[in-house]
Structure 1
């Protein structure tokens, strides 16, 4: 049985204040709880800024990853509380979190005992650990969305798709990410409008501006390919 295992690393967490790091960790715990209810995932938070998430229905992997991405980008961290030249905090506002989807088998998976071991989690963890480079006073981020499997055709197939999604999400505002998250969590626009206290027309406008139709097609394409 193949799983999608998502590893995630908060961008620039070491540059956030202790209070903001705690705030982010509290929000991530709530996120994992909501994802568990909606997608039956098993998720855990490690040291407050690194998460691991097993998605039993592997085809949901991209949808869950993008939900995580949009949720983190919408966390209200005020960059004005930091030095204007602090590029690391700006990177958090732009990218939020780096995520890798590892697709493959798990040799051991016991949620009750917190055991996750095998190919899928190895692949996702490897992608995360090898992609950030530091250049003295600034963090250099090339990409924040990755897919890894033993199938090179799959890897080549998804690489350009994730690169394009990366660009869309990096340009999304916090409000647009709130809307994206709720849409990825299967809420209708009228429900989103009530939750956010805005008009349905505003929800639709945010969705259009951020490229929801393309994002939705990408999620469905991932489901189709993985389900084959």
Structure 2
């Protein structure tokens, strides 16, 4: 059985002040619980800023990754409270989190005991570890979405797709990311409007602006390809 394992590293987390760092940690706990209920995801936070999420239905890996991405980008951090010269906070606002989807088998998986071991988590972890920005004076971030597996055809096919999604989401506002997150969690626009306290027309406008139709197509494409590969 193949799994998708999504590993994530919060961008510029060490530059956040204590209050914002605690806010991010609390929000991540809420996110993981939501993902558990919706997708049966087992997730954990390590060292306060590093995520590991096992997606039992591997075809939902991209949907889960994009839900994480949009959720983190929607976290309200007041960039104005930081020094204007602090480029790291700007990078957090733009990218939020760096994510890699590792696809493959797990030799050991026991959520009750917190055990995850196998190629899927190795693939995702290696992709993230090679992209860290800790302790760098200048941050240059080109990509924040990755896919890794032993299947080179899958790796090649998904690379440009994730690069395009990366660009779309990096340009999205916090409100657009809120709407995107709820959409990725399969909420209808009327439900989203009620949860956010805005009109349904506003939800639709944010959805259109963030490129929901393209994102939805990408999620369906990923599901189709992974489902066929798993047969």
CA deviation vs aligned residue, 1:89-120 (integer Å, no higher than 9, x gap): 00000000000000000000000100000000
Q: C-alpha root-mean-square deviation of aligned residues, in Å?
A: 1.0
Q: Give 1:132 deviation, angstroms.
A: 3.3
Count of aligned pairs: 228
Alignment-derived partner of residue 193 in structure 2: 193
Q: Secondary structure at the match of 1:216?
A: helix
Q: Is the 8 A contact 2:12 2:134 kept in 1?
A: no
Q: Give 1:30 deviation, angstroms.
A: 0.3
Q: Give 1:18 deviation, angstroms.
A: 1.2
Q: TM-score, structure 1 length as denominator? A: 0.98
Q: How does 1:158-169 map to 2 (within 5 A)?
A: 158-169=158-169
Structure 1's 136 and 151: CA in aligned 2 closer, same or farther, altered over 3 A? closer
Alignment-derived partner of residue 58 in structure 2: 58
Alignment-derived partner of residue 205 in structure 2: 205
Alignment-derived partner of residue 217 in structure 2: 217
Cα distance in structure 1, aligned partners of 2:21 and 2:138: 19
Cα distance in structure 2, aligned partners of 1:130 and 1:139: 14
Alignment-derived partner of residue 77 in structure 1: 77
Cα distance in structure 2, aligned partners of 1:135 and 1:24: 20
Cα distance in structure 2, aligned partners of 1:214 and 1:25: 30
Cα distance in structure 2, aligned partners of 1:27 and 1:93: 15
Cα distance in structure 1, aligned partners of 2:54 and 2:199: 35
Where does the alignment leave 5 or more consecutive residues of structure 1 unmatched?
Answer: none
Structure 1's 133 and 28: CA in aligned 2 closer, same or farther, altered over 3 A? closer
Q: Give 1:134 deviation, angstroms.
A: 6.7
CA deviation vs aligned residue, 1:67-100 (integer Å, no higher than 9, x gap): 0000000000100110001000000000000000
Where does the alignment leave 5 or more consecutive residues of structure 2 unmatched?
Answer: none
Cα distance in structure 2, aligned partners of 1:132 and 1:9: 8
